[in-house]
Structures are given as C-alpha cells and as structure tokens.
Amino acid sequence: MSDLKQYRLRARFARKGEAARLSQLEQIRLLRAAVSSCGLPCAMSGGKKRLPRMAFGPAISVGYESEAEYADICLCAPVPEREAFAKLSAACGGGFSALGVKRIPLHFPSLESLLNVAEYEVSGDFGPEPDASLERFLARPEIPVVKQKHEGPQERIDARPLIMEMKHDSGRLRLMLRFSPGRNLKPELILRAWLDREISGFAVTRKQLYWETPGGLSAP
C-alpha cells in the first residue's frame, strides 16, 4: 500500500498579530514549514521539492486575524491526537498557534469541497443607533454590492441570500456569510452596503468555518 495517504489529521490554527499581515501563499509556506519541522511522520509529495502532503481551507484576506485556519495533514504512520497537537504547538510561531488536532477518515471530503459558511467578528465604529439601522438593512429584499474582480470588470451581486446572520452587540458585529466559487464576499463589502460609507478602522476576525447540512451547521 502507498505510504502517501494512510492516515489523515485535521489541524486548526489561529493567526494573530504579525501573522494577519500574511498572504494566503505566505501562510501556507509557514504552516508547511512548521509541519515539516515538528517531527510528525508526514507523507511527502513527489518531485524535487519534498514537502509534507497537506490541503488547506478557504483563503483568508490579508489583515484578518483568525481562529479558523484549517489544514489536513497526511501521515505515513499513526500518531495520537494529543501527541500531534503537542508537536504542532511547539513548532508554531510568528503569530500562529495550534488550536486543535483530530484524526479524520482517509477519504473524508476535502475542506474546500465541504465548507460554505464563514463566521466573522467585526469590531469598530458602526455609527449612531446601529441596532435600528441594522434592522432596517436586513429588512431589505435585496442588498446589491459591487465586487471588483482582480484585473477584471466589476460584478454586481445580491448579498441578501449570502447573509445568514448579522447581530450587533456593544461595538461588535457577528456576521455569518455563505460563500461559494464566484460568490465570496468580504465583510467590508457588507459593511459598506449597511453603513453607506467607506470602511476603515474595523478589525475583522474569522471565528469559524462551517458547512450547511439539513440539520444545521457543522464545523470541521
């Protein structure tokens, strides 16, 4: 039997402080380096560059902190979850920390294929009477936003079906957004549509990722 995918771990990481300034590619390089150096018996990719075989969750925007950065790690030997967590925790640095590790089935669906809901916490100045204005905002049958594609034309999207939940409490906003290929909106676009002004000075943290099931939401 091939040693490339005999065992599979799903690790959850946080990124705080300096790590929030990284791009997705920079983050992947650092997490791969941490996994490579932590002492886990990783299954390695082929080719000239022997890298740990890993798969990552949805990309995160530069500037966002997060408590929901996920990576699936392929191993060629079993490792107890507690031991794997200790090894990953010791190898993390630069604003990254390990939050959890669990064994998942070898052929469990990938993170990218499962996940379609992101939970954010946004803090900042939402203006006077934010609760009343938010209630009026969510009562709209349609919430048009304009998304600028990278080096492409603008796209008009109705954000209303993508907003699962928006709740304000004491200067913090809990925002649950659906996403899918071609329908991935940043919280700033929702804030701009709600507050009707340019957005600056807000702090965004991705708290968790989910996928929708007939019985509700499930987390990785």
Model confidence pLDDT, tens digit, residues 11-45: 999 999 999 999 999 999 999 999 999 999 999 88
Asked whether the beta carbons of 10 and 79 are under 8 A apart, the reply is: no
Per-residue model confidence as pLDDT tens digits over 90-143: 999 999 999 999 999 988 899 989 999 999 999 999 999 999 999 999 999 999
Among residues 53, 37, 50, 20, which one has the least CA distance to residue 89?
37
Q: How confident is the model at residue 2 (pLDDT cuts 50, 70, 90)?
A: very low
- pLDDT tens per residue across span 56-97: 999 999 999 999 999 999 999 999 999 999 999 999 999 999
pLDDT of 3 above 70 = no
Q: Quick check: helix, strand or coil at residue 199? A: coil
Domains in the chain and their CATH numbers? Answer: 7-112 (3.30.70.580), 115-218 (no CATH)
Q: Is pLDDT at 209 greater than 60 in this prediction? A: yes
Question: Cα separation of 43 and 78, whole Å?
Answer: 11
- The pLDDT value recorded for residue 154 is 83
Whole-number Cα distances in Å, 188 to 8, 123, 175: 35, 12, 11
Q: What is the pTM of this model?
A: 0.92
Give the position of tokens 């200790």: 86
Instruction: Name the residue among 120, 122, 132 with its Cα closest to residue 199.
Output: 122
Q: Which of 187, 191, 193 is nearest to 207 (CA)?
A: 187
